[in-house]
Amino acid sequence: MNYTTQMDAAKKGIITKEMELVSQKENMELNKLMELVAEGKVVIPANKNHKSLKAEGVGKGLKTKINVNLGISKDCCNVDAELEKVKTAMDMNAEAIMDLSCFGKTEEFRKKLVNMYSGMIGTVPMYDAVGFYDKELKDITEDELIGVIEKHAKDGVDFMTIHAGINRETAAVFKRNPRMMNFVSRGGSLLYAWMELNGKENPFYEYFDKVLDICEKYDVTISLGDACRPGAIADSTDPSQIKELMTLGELTKRAWEKNVQVMIEGPGHMALNEIKTNMELEKKLCYEAPFYVLGPIVTDIAPGYDHITSAIGGALAASTGADFLCYVTPAEHLRLPNLEDMKEGIIATKIAAHAADIAKGIKGARDWDNAMSRARRDLDWETMFKLAIDPEKARRYRKESIPENEHTCTMCGKMCAVRNMNKVMEGKNINVLRDDD
């Protein structure tokens, strides 16, 4: 039997090689996975032209995935530096990379990324439009904007952020309800500006069927972008955000009718006490489509530390419904991240994702923690280092402060609770002051 997309195959009862791989990775029964893909509750982003892909699943019952943003800008256009980030993200087992390049001719970098990276690859075609056509925003036509989507699809991109929910109705709600930060979505603000400058409807909304035809042809997963995501906690869960989310729910059903896979993008900046409700709203209004969130960043006061504010929000979001976390680095709100910023952002987001998987009861999530606890009980430092989420840092910290007794650390020395409990449990004496062990 033939099929067009992973969703189409699942509806027809066809098991694809991508489903088989995801089933193995997730330790999920294959027919159960196929059922969730058919229902739209799990997506397997897998562009037919991404030949190096080792598929991942995102959604209900699966491990929380993380995304790494990178790409060139006008002020930082070093392609080699961005490719080095790609290699590092691969080494750190990031499940997805989004190429957010927004300057010049980005095709060369995008094609290199598709060839070398085996995880999911995402883009935001709206970022590329000005450079692709070498035109000012106002002068780009509707057909040209749709054309960039097709170009990225041909190049092998697995998922694309399409800001189709910022239509004229949503824009009117925004105008009637002023915000502290207006729009902070780059793609959303560009589309809003295009609409205002041309007096027209958002082409991605008006010609959504054309977008779906492209995505069906290449099996591109649509990540319905949140142009109205809050960029300040003062703006969270406001009329603009909720209006757009309702529109995204309507577009989700239209996509599923054409067997196009869908993720929903979400906030943004948001106080802790609003996160759980927002996760439940998305699942309700968008029919349990996988939810992809940036953070949420839970306070606005920490530039330089927003990988932490984001990890706090991300852990809570993922434990209450989010399926996919976009990383945030210490450079958020300040500059393009460098390689070290990227590493810190990945580690913080992986911690948040894993903590959420424990809370959600994902099968096998606790095994890693239990192995680490056993190694700590046994004072098996080498195993602790191997199990650490960042082995290099753990080894470096240990090496920087060597204890008198090799089995302990310089915090407690021979007063180490683990050492002394082991001795007592074995019926041995505890010698804190003597030199002998």
Q: Which residues are annotated as a binding site for Zn(2+)?
A: 269, 333
For residue 3, the one-letter residue type is: Y
Residue 67 buriedness (CB in 10 A; 0-12 / 13-18 / 19+) = buried
Q: Which residues are annotated as a binding site for [4Fe-4S] cluster?
A: 409, 412, 416
Q: Residue 58 and residue 293: Cα distance in Å, rounded? A: 12
Pair 122, 160: CB distance under 8 Å:
yes
Pair 20, 30: CB distance under 8 Å:
yes
Q: Residue 333 and residue 33: Cα distance in Å, rounded? A: 38
Pair 190, 145: CB distance under 8 Å:
no
End-to-end CA distance of the chain: 70
Helices 186-198 and 168-176 sit at what angle, rounded to 10 degrees? 100
Distance between alpha carbon 186 and the CA centroid of its chain, in Å? 17
Q: Residue 401 and residue 383: Cα distance in Å, rounded? A: 19
Q: Which residues are annotated as a binding site for substrate?
A: 69, 98, 127, 163, 185-187, 226-229, 265, 292
Residue 66, strand partner residues: 325
For residue 387, the one-letter residue type is: L
Pair 232, 180: CB distance under 8 Å:
yes
Pair 292, 263: CB distance under 8 Å:
yes
Q: Which residues are annotated as a binding site?
A: 69, 98, 127, 163, 185-187, 226-229, 265, 269, 292, 333, 409, 412, 416
Angle at 177 between CA 171 and CA 179, to 5 degrees: 95
- Tell me the pairing of strands 291-294 and 262-266: parallel
Name the phi and psi angles at 124, rounded to 5.
-125, 95
| Per-residue tokens: 79 | 């392609």
Q: Residue 73 and residue 83: Cα distance in Å, rounded? A: 14
Beta-strand (E) ranges in 316-378?
324-326
For residue 311, the one-letter residue type is: A
What are the counts of helices (DSSP H) followed by strands (DSSP E) for the chain? 19, 10
From the list 391, 351, 346, the residue with the least C-alpha distance to 87 is 346
